[in-house]
Amino acid sequence: MSLNRSEKEAVVSEVEGLAKTAQTLVMAEYRGITVADMIKLRSEARNQGVSLSVLKNTLARRAVSGSAFEIVAEQMTGPLIYGFSVDAVAAARVVANFAKTNEKLVIRAGAIGGKALDVNGVKQLAYIPS
C-alpha cells in the first residue's frame, strides 16, 4: 500500500504532534507477530495512554526531525512499531511487558527527554514506578 502525498503529510503531522507532547518514544521490531497479538498489544497500549503506530520509517524520521526524539532517527530501520507516551514510563512499560511474553517483539531503542536509550535503558525505564 502506497500513500499519496496528502496522506503522507497527514501521517507526518500526526506524529509531529505526538512527538511534541510525548515524554517518551520506544521503538520495537514486530516481525512475525500475529494479528491477534498485535491487537492485544494495541489494546494494552491504549489502556495505558500510549500511542502505538506502525509507520514508514522515512515518515517517522521526518516527523521527529527537530524534536527531542530526533536523537534516535538513525535507528529507525526495519519493521518497527513506535510507542509514544506523555507518561514518562508508560510506553517503555507496555512494550517491555509485552516483549516478556512474546519473543517476536524485540525492543530496539527509545528516547526520553532528548536522551537516547538502548534496549537495557528502555527496560530500566519500564520498571521505574510511575
Give residue-wise pLDDT tens across range 99-108.
999 999 999 9
| Edge-to-edge strands, sheet with 80-85 | 50-54, 80-85, 24-29, 106-112, 115-117
Query: Directed axis angle between helix 119-126 and helix 90-101, to 10°?
Result: 110
Indicate which CATH number applies to the domain containing 59: 3.30.70.1730
Q: Domains in the chain: how many in total?
A: 1
Give residue-wise pLDDT tens across range 16-67.
999 999 999 999 999 999 999 999 999 999 999 999 999 999 999 999 999 9
Q: For residue 16, what are the domain limits?
A: 5-126
Reduced to 3 states (helix: H, G, I; strand: E, B; else coil), residue 29 is strand
* 8 A C-beta contact, residue 80 and residue 30: yes
